[in-house]
Copies of this chain bind each other. A is one copy, B any other.
């Protein structure tokens, strides 16, 4: 029976029962972590072969390039081809970089600030009152980047098809709106795949700002944990088709394919953007680590072979996601306290509680020894207007720890709801 339909007496009884259960959890002194989308040790072990795939100097020479030495700003040709194969674009559109796509995104925004982008009239730091579109709930680290550079963050609600496009098309008529975050496949944290129509409308946008930057963070491009690979559009080709070739920069990495602490990342963009950006990047670096690029190409080979590895990740990930969703279904659904998606890929389950319960729930969870992503983190400025979104990141803990963590969560959510309903 739903909590909202309980009588005051029944509420009080349930409260006492749940409180006792919560105190029991607290007494266990747990130390569990479901805060971030970190792969588990089992998943890391899938890429141990990466460590030995290059074992002598001669193997480090590829197509006449000694990957050990200086040179090749845009990355090894084989690494550019690898990412082009994964993303479905041209190798000439790919810049193969270091271990973090987040850094590549930050650097693109930073260069827009200090130098401007290809179609900028001036560096962005010479303009006032700039704004950035943030589909929400979204990725806290994205929002922090735009916040750090002083943009006003504009929340765009997510729908089951992706960002609310009517609103986006309205907002981009403001020339102060300079950019937009997107995680188009298995969005963080909702796990939504943008619909074809949403992607088409995004590619066809006509922003007032001539140097509008659509960031396309394809973080989970091959990251199905349930079922087969879901193909996705080549956003570069699509934007080109709508006369917007230079509006988009796409990002991806192997952080959740091989090793988060030692993967390789890339960005992909029009050849005109590539020329503009690499002219600037040539001042900043000689090249990123090319040995690690070569290791990855030798180990991952191509998209088809990468998808085989992703099946092994899926075998580890799926039971964890099933367990979380199953427990919520059993413990929370009948009480009418929250809703959630059941994504087939990505790293998160996004739970929306009744309004006003998220912050208190995460606090209770924390006091019982379980760290989750901070409530509100998935919204601009860390402020969830309805205080209802909580991000589950079930990948890191072993299943037995996860079971405890989810039980603590269910108990805490119930307690938070009862505290509120009793008032």
Within 8 A of B (CB), among A87-145: 98-100, 102-103, 106-107, 110, 113-115, 123, 125-126, 141, 144-145
**Residues in chain B near residue A98, CB distance under 8 A:** 98-99, 288-289
> When the two chains form their complex, are residues B285 and A103 in contact, meaning their CB atoms are under 8 A apart?
yes
Chain B interface: which of A14-22, A63-71, A184-192? A63-71
> When the two chains form their complex, are residues A45 and B57 in contact, meaning their CB atoms are under 8 A apart?
yes
Answer whether A44 and B70 are a contact pair too, CB < 8 Å, given A261-B287, A283-B148, A285-B106.
no
How many identical subunits does the complex contain? Answer: 2
Checking B41, B47, B66 against A41 with a beta-carbon cut-off of 8 angstroms, the contacting residue is B66
Q: Closest B residue to A100 by CB, please name it.
A: B285
Q: Closest B residue to A44 by CB, please name it.
A: B68
A342 close to chain B: CB less than 8 A? no
Instruction: Count A-side interface residues using an 8 Å CB cutoff.
Output: 57
A55 close to chain B: CB less than 8 A? yes
**Residues in chain B near residue A69, CB distance under 8 A:** 38-39, 44, 259-261
**Residues in chain B near residue A72, CB distance under 8 A:** 261
B-binding residues in A (CB < 8 A)? 36, 38-39, 41, 44-45, 47-48, 51-52, 54-57, 60, 66-72, 98-100, 102-103, 106-107, 110, 113-115, 123, 125-126, 141, 144-145, 148-149, 255, 259-262, 280, 283-292
Q: List 18 additional A-B contacts (Cβ < 8 Å) besides A100-B288, A148-B283.
A: A41-B57, A41-B66, A51-B54, A51-B56, A51-B57, A68-B259, A72-B261, A100-B285, A106-B285, A110-B110, A110-B284, A113-B125, A115-B148, A260-B286, A261-B287, A261-B289, A262-B290, A262-B292
List 8 A-B residue pairs with CB atoms under 8 Å apart, sorted by A's residue number: A36-B70, A38-B69, A38-B71, A41-B57, A114-B114, A125-B125, A125-B126, A141-B283
